[in-house]
A and B are shown apart, each in its own frame.
Chain A
Amino acid sequence: MIKGGYKLDTKEFLKKLSNGSSVSGFEHGLSDLITSSFKDHTDQITTDKLGNIIMLKKGTEDGSSIKIMIAAHMDEIGLMVKHIEDNGFIRFTNVGGIDPRTIVGQEVVVHGKEDLFGVIGSKPPHLQEPTEIDKAIKMEDMIIDLGYPKEKVLELVSIGDPITIKRDFKSLQGSRVMGKSLDDKAGIAVMYEAMLELSNLKHEADVYFVATVQEEVGTRGAFTSTYSINPDIGIAIDVGFGSTPELPKGATIDMGKGPGITIGGNIHPGLRDQLIEIAKQYNIPYQLEVTPGPTGTDGRAMQITREGIPTLCLSVPLRYMHTSVEIIDMEDVKNTAKLLAFFISSITRENLEGLLCY
């Protein structure tokens, strides 16, 4: 059965996701966008207590008993209001891993009673001591200027309000795009595209697409959603370090050369071999990403949930991770989705036991 309905272009969808705000613990701002984009092509959508959005696309065979869970996290790193100074300036802390050097001089949106524009201030170079210039500015020494006096700020902003860097998603050369929080909104885009691909394929398995919450603060949403779905296979879609000159070759994957397939203890070897087999069979470019220990992705949470879940991780190469100018190649999104869809389609009750056998 091919389901109809409106199909949003994947890049347009990613643009909306990237420009939206979903700091860990405050992901609800993206719920409507995600559910409305997936609902015409899935059979059932539920949201759990932590805010994970679980979207089920039933298998094309009647009475299927295989469950495959795909997880991409919808949360993003951000900042949080800590204190309001007498002159109305805001002091803040980080939510998730942020290099303080990447936020100096940024435009921000403080998500108070309403969304408020502000800037992270910097000291004029004219006033700096020569010794200052080589030191990184600490986050605790930075301020956000909303341009309002304290009384007005207190009216609109509360301690604990989330803050995002303001950045417009834009196209660069060729198929490359830049924006904030492409980690891991690129993963949500991969799920979306894979879902569309699957509408044209036979797949025995029931597929649970999960937009998880709170990955950036400890893969928390993946734990609860994996527990409730209890899948036969868990696949995390996240981003991998895109190669740049200053990074060691072995720690990165190249832009535009297809998804990274993770190899290591977090990954089920039989399923990984099948994934590579499918990539070869359909001529989908891929790269290997070596992580011997637990990955820092939802795949880690999936693997150790309940009695243990056989897990895979696919990575979209991404440059400048956790800055507000992350870059990905849309071709990589497409190829990751394609590989994911063909892999899902290849799993049957008949071959699954064999693949999982050690």
Chain B
Amino acid sequence: MLLKRLTEAAGVSGNEKEVRDIIIEEIKDHVDELIVDRLGNVIAYKKGKEDSKKLMITAHMDEVGLMITDIDNEGLLKFTTVGGIDKRILVSKPVLIGKNKILGVIGAKPIHLQKREEWQRALNIDQLYIDIGAKNKEEAERLVNIGDYVSFDSQYIEFGDDLIKAKALDNRVGCSLLIELIKETKDIGFYGVFTVMEEIGLVGAGPAAYRVDPDISIILEGTLCYELPNMDEHLVPTSLNKGPAISIMDRTTLYDREFRDRIKKIAEKNNIPYQYRKTSMGGNDSGRIHTTKEGSITTAISVPCRNIHSPTSVMSKKDYKNTYNLLIAILSEYKKGEL
């Protein structure tokens, strides 16, 4: 299954090769042009009958993770974070290091040897390390290098009522949607762009947009979803199973009102549930794309993901399907020249 392959591949920002290879393999027979640019972005073009406007659809390939910074005398590995990770979700987790996916664990001090006040404080990154079971520094150095990327060891699992648990749903869910669009649509001209290093500062998107120079862009994302019992409704950023989340404003973009209304109407016309992304926190590749060259119009459409940026992110297959249906509906309007 595509989303399983994509989420179980390692692709920490700056090290997207595994993900890129899967994407190229999936789309290469379905596009008219395909390049990998100097930063590692995948830029694909599908020809249409006649294109009034230049449409670009993007999804970032990278995920948050860790990077090895030091190997200590005991053979334990120190690390830093790559992208936004809550240090508190790292403790007591297995991880995979480097190209050979060496298994390691991030342990913690036994509770028996702690003072009570210790477990009220979060453990800092500098207190944590990865243990691969090496007996000493020399053994660890044979297997691991400083600078090796580290990803969470987390399997794709389907559970509950049509839900999926995986790591890196932000943003393999966007990659999966974009791959499907490229494979399933005909006679609709658009650029499908898979960007690198979104999580460390929207690095790939600007140069990709500069090359493509789109009139309109749709950014596909996995976005934050958080809904605790008794939370005030207005504080819930997105909800699971309520359909694709359409962005209004975040830290990188004020999305074009007219284009957003157009998408909303398309959803309503096709009876596709949708929701607004009700937080202005976070951001995505749109920030760079809409300000590249003379500027352009963007919208961000996201699949809600609980526990985002953690090894146990959760999304709904129903939301995926509804997001896909909305994108197909948008593309069919675009094909008619009515976008």
Contact = CB atoms under 8 A, between A and B. Distances in A.
B148 to A, nearest CB: 15
Nearest to B224: A124
Contacts of A125: 84-86, 309
A118 B165 CA distance: 9
B111 A148 contact: no
A256 B91 CA distance: 24
Contacts of A177: 133
Nearest to A134: B122
The size class of the interface chain B forms with chain A is 35 or more
Contact of B312 (A106, A127, A247, A327): A106
A99 B114 contact: yes
Contact of B122 (A135, A152, A245, A324): A135
Contacts of A116: 159
B94 interface: yes
Interface string A81-108: 0000111010000000111111111110
A89 B107 contact: no
A100 to B, nearest CB: 6
Given A105-B307, A126-B279, A325-B106, A149 B89 contact: no
B183 to A, nearest CB: 28
Interface in B52-75: 72, 74
A281 B72 CA distance: 36
Task: Please indicate which of the listed interface residues A100, A117, A119, A148 has the most CB atoms of chain B within 10 Å of its own CB.
Answer: A119
Contacts of B105: 172, 178, 320, 325, 327
B281 interface: yes
Contacts of A135: 120-122
A73 to B, nearest CB: 15
Contacts of A146: 159-160
Secondary structure of the B side of the interface? loop
B88 A319 contact: no
A159 to B, nearest CB: 16
A124 B108 contact: no
B134 to A, nearest CB: 5
B311 interface: yes
B122 A99 contact: no
B104 interface: yes
Interface string B299-338: 0000000111111101000000000000000000000000
A174 B122 contact: no
Interface string B116-156: 00011111000101011111000100010000000000100
A327 B131 contact: yes
A244 B237 contact: no
B307 A121 contact: yes
Interface string A115-140: 01111111111111000011111000
A134 B121 CA distance: 6
Nearest to A328: B133
Interface in A258-300: 296
A86 B228 CA distance: 10
B25 interface: no
B112 A172 contact: no
Contacts of A136: 88, 119-122
Interface string B78-106: 00000011111101111000000011111
Contacts of A118: 159-160
Contacts of B121: 134-136
A99 B93 contact: no
Interface in A216-261: 241, 244-247, 251, 255-256
B1 interface: no
A117 B88 contact: no
Contacts of B86: 122-123, 125, 128, 133
B103 A100 contact: no
A161 interface: no
A292 to B, nearest CB: 16
Contacts of B123: 101
B161 interface: yes
A357 to B, nearest CB: 34
A146 B237 CA distance: 20
A125 B86 CA distance: 6
A327 B107 contact: yes
B311 A105 contact: yes
Contact of A324 (B92, B162, B225, B306): B92
A174 B165 contact: no
Contact of B107 (A97, A98, A319): A319
A143 interface: yes
A137 B311 CA distance: 17
B134 A107 contact: no
A117 B92 contact: no
B227 interface: yes
B107 A323 contact: yes
Given A105-B307, A107-B165, A152-B161, A178 B76 contact: no
Contacts of A149: 161
B159 A102 contact: no
Contacts of A133: 86-88, 122
B92 A320 contact: yes
B110 A241 contact: yes
Nearest to B157: A117
Given A147-B163, A148-B160, A245-B72, A105 B89 contact: yes
Interface of B: 72, 74, 76, 84-89, 91-94, 102-114, 119-123, 127, 129, 131-135, 139, 143, 154, 157, 159-163, 165, 224-229, 237, 279, 281-282, 306-312, 314
30 contacts: A85-B229, A89-B228, A98-B111, A99-B108, A100-B119, A101-B88, A105-B89, A106-B92, A107-B312, A117-B159, A120-B312, A124-B307, A126-B224, A133-B86, A135-B121, A136-B88, A136-B120, A143-B229, A147-B314, A172-B104, A173-B132, A173-B133, A173-B135, A174-B134, A245-B129, A247-B109, A247-B113, A255-B135, A320-B108, A321-B111
Given A117-B159, A117-B165, A256-B135, 6 more contacts: A126-B224, A135-B120, A146-B159, A170-B103, A178-B94, A323-B91
| Interchain residue pairs A-B with the least CB separation, the first 5 | A147-B160, A172-B133, A320-B107, A176-B133, A325-B105
